[in-house]
Structure 1
């Protein structure tokens, strides 16, 4: 693996600090992100790996779900056990799925009822209310606290237009597997008030998640249905004060399988409610302060009745709630000599979490009934020196009621060399993941008890590299080359003890890798990007590769406009081999084996074509897995087969 890393850095002409997303505009246009620093900052001044997937890209590439949108992001590996609605895990830069913190408009939405605190990326659809997705790679606990070891994914919803009283929008699509997708909404501004409402509905007969190579596979499909709604109401009585409320609800119903056997009576329902009330003011010209209260409620239930294929019977319930009270501030400091654009950010966050869970058979029942709270203070500073050097630093201390607190920090720098169109970047920091309520207080019958003395999982790591724009003629950004080298050490990973009677901080991991990108803009009608990631993630004690982290991953995207009103967007994703854990490994006859083996490499080809018939109306065709690949991201679960959807959308 070391040789592969060295070869990758040698053969690519220019290393870079972050793999640039193809949606990023040309070097002449500064795209602004918030997730990376909590302060609106041009992406070229951020010292960490950042990718922005905007609304145009979501529609241009035909992304329906959050997992589809993240599948081509450098440094992010998505492993989904089937089609829409099935469990999907994101491994950011080789860290565990539970090390990815997910936000909705800045508020954490990881399900606290999940035993490890992980997020299921297969459950969320990208309705018209989603404006963009910001992906921050690398340790970010100094900004967002627990869970941000691998990175942060922030889903940012739309705002109402300021110049329209009523702006409706809608979408309808239908296609393979009896799929029907409907989205609609309206937004506008009336005097001091603004509003946004949206509704979404999706249903599909689904596909068989169980790999067809199994001899006993029956081809039973796992359907999926979702309904959801979102609302944003705002009041801006003056330039110095804004009050807004946000609400988001979605409800999923879907089928599940027990690999290696189909199970037609295994079904689930998953509900999530999120809401926040935010007040933001500017008491002084250079000081912005805000107070927010937010709550996320998750309700999940899994039911399995006996049938001819399985005698299993299950009725599992998971209920989790998180309430967050956050006070944040930004103070823009005056320029001092060569130092300008100085910003000091600070605040206090308090969170309360509660879990009630009951799952498993009566003789082996898993239960959790617990709650806990934590309080954190954070501060960050960023400044630009001599119009070339951007420096940033942040620190945060989290103090919890029932486990040891943790102080996280991060420092970073970006050095611009405009003479050659280059930007040197680097950052280093720490992060942590608090033990979940299940890990601390869960019970399994009389044989297992959680460990209230668990310590947080902690990490330390950094990244560095360069990004460079290559001109051709009068075009300054004909091509952009980039690469990042990253490494992370994770300590105190939580796992079962030798007797499986409790949990302990016993494991350590070492991760290193590289992200490389090449973006070409040879003509106004063509833009293409290739992003290549190589990852070496290993258990320190055994030297074995960590499960389900592809050693290599390549994504190629393009936007081709043969005429002004037509966009053709092909997408190719190539997954390298990955290690599979012994407890999830199956032979073709359905029997299991106890020695970890490799999942084979695979390739997925997608294509979306959009025709802008008139300024407000577009027709589109979305094709997924056009080669009908039977690639298994996780052993025993294969990709959905070839699907095609045809639809229309409008914005008035």
Structure 2
């Protein structure tokens, strides 16, 4: 309690923040039913299009860095491997959606999502739900769910052109351009975006073998959306997104000048929805995702070995979803029943490394899930949500997940209290079940899913002052998760087993101050304690303290947003760390803490044109989020944004 009081007091003193300028009316990801955010029994962060533009976020890692409870680790700059650890869960235990469809790569050995590849030009908002969500989305949603929601056509405009362009240091050029519109029955959107940069050196300067080589990046993405509305209660929509990146990679502890990776994703979905009898909304969706990654490293002075790794992953998904708005039942109001069936097929055709120790995965698997959910408001004060899902799979033991939560409104105290609990799981990946490494390693088809039990309790309170009822908003949430059946190598390194257990607990503290109409101060402090139950050691790359702080200063046409990101000392696992001479350390080690400062300014020249300037890592921090890899160096970019 003493420690929590200290953290709370310090957070007030820091006057900080991440988050949106205005709380969105509704959130879909947390319940699958559009719900006001204050009535959701889960920790939710929404990053809007306004946040993305005013804070100068170009890539997905930049946008997620300041989300409470989430630690983003990237081994270098744009295009480099990036992992997200939510509430102490492993990166493979975080599910990523694109417009509600899972996009974790089946060809990735652990089934994890690489956060380092996506640009944000076509993203309208990002919804981050922390805590177990398998009762809604199935495998992978142990730590939480991150839903990337793409842009849509504006209402009431038959044609609207929009875009932006910018130039910056490190030979950086970026931009996007698009057109969208809506008629009585049709809507459409088409856009293209791109980013090219010489980048910076990702290898820590403390290594004597560092050559200073920069990791360049070139990426492009194209998005097309078409919709048809046959009547007021029906909608048919198709979305196609293509993205391809090329990036230079580094080896630790020595640079390699021709180590390069190409990463391509093709994504498409078609969805039809209609409302029956005014209360029952039913819909069908089919989606397809294909990931293709190739890593090529030709012989040179640094290495005489040839590397040509190829990863292909595919996912097909089909879903029938339903939402029924039930009539009020006495003290029960806003009653919604949800149910549905989902089927998924994922496949991997991958090879990496060289003989005789080449790693291969050539496999596919099917799964089918049934889900049921209920939410209601009791006595206009208590919002309850319950969810149940059963996943059946042909190649591993299925799993039944559940979640139950409530939000109690206390208007007399300008507060609300949250309590929830649930289970979640992550299915073993295709490599873990069927992969091989030469003749010495075979995957284990008998693996069980990794699973967890989590609970959380929290509150949020408005404090009056300076003539405002919401001068300050303070929130605190305690979370506790127990992980079971974690997958790891056996002692002989010949296969994988469900052998590990772990725990994660901590607190998320937030503060918003509104001292003036033109000033908004926001802050978040996450304290996380993890433990590997077999060794008693903390889990790698989960720092105890992560702090974000920012302000939004809006004066007439000018908006200035400074942002500060602090990460405390971070543990690294055995053999994952390196001394200055490049030798591995077979014991737990810690990365030093680090601070990154960013600044973005926007000036509205006209109603249609806005000029902007951005500075990233202004202090030129050489902080290492992953041991041996530093954050990108100081950079600046300026440009214009328009909409006609």
TM-score range, shorter chain: over 0.9
The answer on 1:335 being equivalent to 2:332 is: no
2:580 to 579, 588, 592: 588
TM-score by length of structure 1 reads: 0.97
Q: Which runs of 5+ in 2 are unaligned?
A: none
The answer on 1:566 being equivalent to 2:562 is: no
The alignment's C-alpha RMSD in Å is: 1.4
- Cα distance between partner residues in 2 of 1:577 and 1:171: 38
Deviation readout 1:101-125 (Å, 9 max, x if unpaired): 0000000000010000111111101
- Cα distance between partner residues in 2 of 1:189 and 1:11: 49
- Cα distance between partner residues in 2 of 1:206 and 1:240: 49
2:29 to 32, 35, 44: 35
TM-score by length of structure 2 reads: 0.98
Query: How far is 1:271 from its partner?
Result: 0.3
The equivalences for 1:523-534 within 5 A come to: 523-534=516-527
Partner of 1:103: 97
Where 1:438 maps in the other structure, the secondary structure is helix
Assess if the C-alpha contact under 8 Å between 1:192 and 1:235 holds in 2. Answer: yes
Query: How far is 1:429 from its partner?
Result: 0.1
- Cα distance between partner residues in 2 of 1:79 and 1:218: 23
Where 1:618 maps in the other structure, the secondary structure is strand
- Cα distance between partner residues in 2 of 1:264 and 1:540: 41
Partner of 1:154: 147
The answer on 1:361 being equivalent to 2:349 is: no
Assess if the C-alpha contact under 8 Å between 1:75 and 1:533 holds in 2. Answer: yes
Where 1:238 maps in the other structure, the secondary structure is coil
The answer on 1:320 being equivalent to 2:320 is: no
The equivalences for 1:1-400 within 5 A come to: 4=3, 7-8=6-7, 22-23=19-20, 25=22, 31-127=25-121, 129-400=122-393
- Cα distance between partner residues in 2 of 1:232 and 1:51: 26
Query: How far is 1:614 from its partner?
Result: 0.6
1:618 to 580, 585, 610: 610
- Cα distance between partner residues in 1 of 2:207 and 2:303: 16
Partner of 1:635: 627
Query: How far is 1:514 from its partner?
Result: 0.2
Assess if the C-alpha contact under 8 Å between 1:440 and 1:450 holds in 2. Answer: yes
- Cα distance between partner residues in 2 of 1:301 and 1:4: 48
Where 2:585 maps in the other structure, the secondary structure is coil
Assess if the C-alpha contact under 8 Å between 1:22 and 1:528 holds in 2. Answer: no
- Cα distance between partner residues in 2 of 1:421 and 1:20: 21
- Cα distance between partner residues in 2 of 1:289 and 1:5: 46
Where 1:69 maps in the other structure, the secondary structure is helix
Where 1:363 maps in the other structure, the secondary structure is coil
Query: How far is 1:12 from its partner?
Result: 7.3
- Cα distance between partner residues in 2 of 1:451 and 1:182: 46
Partner of 1:478: 471
Query: How far is 1:610 from its partner?
Result: 0.5
Assess if the C-alpha contact under 8 Å between 1:81 and 1:209 holds in 2. Answer: yes
2:444 to 429, 451, 455: 451
Deviation readout 1:515-536 (Å, 9 max, x if unpaired): 0000011111100101000000
Judged with a 3 Å threshold, the aligned counterparts in structure 2 of structure 1 residues 517 and 594 are, in CA distance, closer, same or farther, namely same
Query: How far is 1:8 from its partner?
Result: 3.7
Query: How far is 1:494 from its partner?
Result: 0.2
The equivalences for 1:493-572 within 5 A come to: 493-561=486-554, 563-572=555-564
Where 1:310 maps in the other structure, the secondary structure is coil
Assess if the C-alpha contact under 8 Å between 1:464 and 1:485 holds in 2. Answer: yes
Query: How far is 1:4 from its partner?
Result: 4.3
Where 2:216 maps in the other structure, the secondary structure is strand
The runs of at least 4 aligned residues of structure 1 exceeding 6 Å deviation read 9-13
- Cα distance between partner residues in 2 of 1:358 and 1:484: 43
Q: Which runs of 5+ in 1 are unaligned?
A: 14-18
